[in-house]
Amino acid sequence: MSEPVSISRGIAARYATAVFELAKESKTIESLDGDVAVLSAALSESDDLNALISSPVVSREQSAAAIAGLAKKAKLSDVISNTLALMAQKRRLFVLPQLVLALEAMLADERGEVTAEVVSAKALTKTQETKLTKSLSEQFGKTVTLNATVDEAIIGGLIIKVGSKMIDTSIASKLNSLQNAMKEVG
């Protein structure tokens, strides 16, 4: 992992922890969930917002004014509005995408949910998705949401990532293992 990315994640994690704890104390987790959804949508849809948070030439005052306008227009809670204002003042808006991701993960954990990244050689049927979701829910003891993608290069099988755990039953992986074992022999 590159150093700037790990630094950004560290900064974002500290802000996310503070915001989450403040929301829990004030019993506003539901509004935090809505705020995070609004910020996530704004980051994915607005080139202007992305330019604002990543531009080193925008002054603190301009950043603060723009973020205050965004918070007011989007009707964000005081906790998020104040956090964004502080981030603008400290020139830390560049970590906003990582902050949103960290808060999404904390909120999902609070609800007892986990996301499983599933890669398959061909699209999973609804029946397969249902069975996989049920199996993973039993294994992890949480509600599992699948994020399925298709990669024909794995030939067959699945690659499943849940948190820091990975299950790789792909044929491509087995062929690579066999190839490595054959290299060791001869």
What does the pLDDT look like over 44-61, one tens digit per residue? 999 999 999 999 899 999
Neighbours of 131 (CB within 10 A): 12
Classify strands 158-162 and 165-168 as parallel, antiparallel or unpaired.
antiparallel
Q: In Å, what is the CA distance from 47 to each residue of 40, 42, 55, 65, 85?
A: 13, 9, 12, 17, 20
Q: What is the CATH number of the domain that holds 9?
A: 1.10.520.20
pLDDT band at 65 (very low <50, low <70, confident <90, very high): very high
One domain, residues 92 and 48:
yes
Domain range for 158 is: 112-185
In sequence order, the β-bridge partners of residue 160 are 118, 167
Tokens of 45: 């849809």
Q: What is the CATH number of the domain that holds 116?
A: 3.40.30
pLDDT band at 2 (very low <50, low <70, confident <90, very high): low
Q: List, for residues 83-126, the tens digit of each pLDDT value.
A: 999 999 999 999 999 999 999 999 999 999 999 999 999 999 99
Radius of gyration of the chain from its Cα atoms, rounded to whole angstroms:
21
> Which pLDDT does position 174 carry in this prediction?
93
* Domain C-terminal end among 56, 74, 109: 109
Q: Residue with structure tokens 């199996």?
A: 135
pTM above 0.85, yes or no: no
